[in-house]
A and B are shown apart, each in its own frame.
Chain A
Amino acid sequence: MSDPAQIIVCINGVHVAVPPATTVAAAILIAGAPIRTSISGQPRGPLCGMGMCFECRATINGVPHQRSCQIICADQMEVRVD
């Protein structure tokens, strides 16, 4: 945690350290956070990794439905997956 090259993001209330230039989708996987649940209760997660499938959506800094595979982690970023 003392490595200055690490970035701290908060995923569903849990702080995680990730290397610079990590996508939010990767950080969610590193954190082992539960994957998103569709409106009909089916499990969802990153599929294409290039912004096309919209399956990796998360609420980032309060903005809902962000494609987490297209956003790079910034220090103290707040991420919610639900």
Chain B
Amino acid sequence: MSHASDVLIAGAGIVGSACALACVRRGLRVAIVESSGIGAGATAAGMGHIVAMDDSPAQLALTNYSQQLWRDLSATLPPSVEYDPCGTLWVASDDEEMREVERKSKVYGAAGLLTEILDSRALANAEPNLRRPLAGALLVPSDAVLYPPCAAAFLMAQAQQLGAQLFSPRKVISAAAGKAQLDDGSEIHAAHIVIATGADAVALIAQLPIRKRKGHLAITDRYPGYVRHQLVELGYLKSAHATTADSVAFNVQPRRTGQILIGSSRQFNAETPEVDHPNLAAMIHRAQSYLPDIGSLSTIRIWTGFRAATPDKLPLIGPWLSDPSLILATGHEGLGITTSLATAQLVADHICSRASAIPIDPYLPARFAKVAAHV
């Protein structure tokens, strides 16, 4: 059996679902192949923090653009997506981190993002369950949270209503030169094949500079109001940057249900999904060091997931080096939920040969041309 389409998308996580909707809206014929459920991989494992991040100018440009797209979409999102513009508090524990608050505030301001600097007392009023004293915090009111698998399902349902065809449970086992082979022996021909399978993309292109980065999350029972913003320690970037050792950071999120999502951990060279108890314990202890009473809350579930990490902390968006029919939309590490909508616009712009709202260049796979040549 053989099927023809303008665009084939491998993977119906939040990135693939967003790409499907963006492409079908441009009038393209779209097929999607998903081996499991909509948003069942890294999408379901993630926190769903829609966050502006300034690790690099390119990261800030992509997260800021995508966050705007989420805001534009927010009024149409169904209640199941649990979109909540609760804002982020970047928590500073000492004077050095308060200087980082000031630096961050300036960078965000230059990008058009309003922020507010909270001193020690204002932070204690905003979040009474945080330990005292803390030095202060940066409030980013434009950040939000949502429930990622329902967001992916919403995007996919919209795409299907507009004519996108979903093949599931089917798996793309190879893709090259405008042709994809599926696990049931069928073929799909498409001028553009979007690879949106997260860390599993290496199964289709072995040379991809992507590594699995394992993470743990815990979720509590319902304690409405226990925390009011997404709370992230400013030391978070130190954890996110560590490229070898296992690391943990304080990163806690209030859900619309009153549940508290507790993160975060990062591990390389851990490619199986079981809970790593020492790593989990370190993560919970980190949360306890900021929320001393959190140990009295009841945790109902703990799980792991795999981020698709690139060496330079930027995603891979655009044509693959040796085969431009393959368009990558992966490598988002911890920012795939945030940047899914912008990624989809960049992919659709590329396919339609149109200029994008932000330059695609920093995310192009071509930046790894030298690396791949040496493989």
Contacts and interface: CB of A to CB of B under 8 A. Distances in A.
B296 A63 contact: yes
A65 B221 contact: yes
Nearest to A57: B221
A20 interface: no
B223 interface: yes
B256 to A, nearest CB: 11
A39 interface: yes
A39 B257 contact: yes
Contacts of A64: 221-223
Interface string B284-309: 00000000000010101000000000
A76 B222 CA distance: 26
A54, A63, A64 pick with most chain B CB within 10 angstroms: A64
Q: Which of the four size classes fits the interface of chain B?
A: under 10
A34 B222 CA distance: 20
Interface string B209-238: 000000000000111000000000000000
A65 B298 contact: yes
A63 B221 CA distance: 12
Nearest to B296: A63
Interface in A15-45: 39
Chain A interface, DSSP helix/strand/loop, else mixed? strand
A39 B257 CA distance: 8
A28 B106 CA distance: 57
A54 B301 CA distance: 13
A39 B82 CA distance: 14
Contacts of A65: 221-223, 298
A39 B224 CA distance: 13
B225 to A, nearest CB: 11
A65 B223 CA distance: 9
Contacts of A54: 300
Interface in B6-35: none
A34 B257 CA distance: 22
B368 to A, nearest CB: 46
Contacts of B296: 63
A67 B257 CA distance: 20
A39 B223 CA distance: 13
Counting chain A CB atoms within 10 Å of each CB, which of B223, B257, B298, B300 scores highest?
Answer: B298
Contacts of B221: 57, 64-65
A64 B220 CA distance: 12
Closest 4 CB pairs of A and B: A65-B221, A65-B298, A39-B257, A64-B223
5 contacts: A39-B222, A57-B221, A64-B222, A65-B221, A65-B223
Interface of A: 39, 54, 57, 63-65
Given A64-B221, A65-B221, A65-B298, 9 more contacts: A39-B222, A39-B257, A54-B300, A57-B221, A63-B296, A64-B222, A64-B223, A65-B222, A65-B223
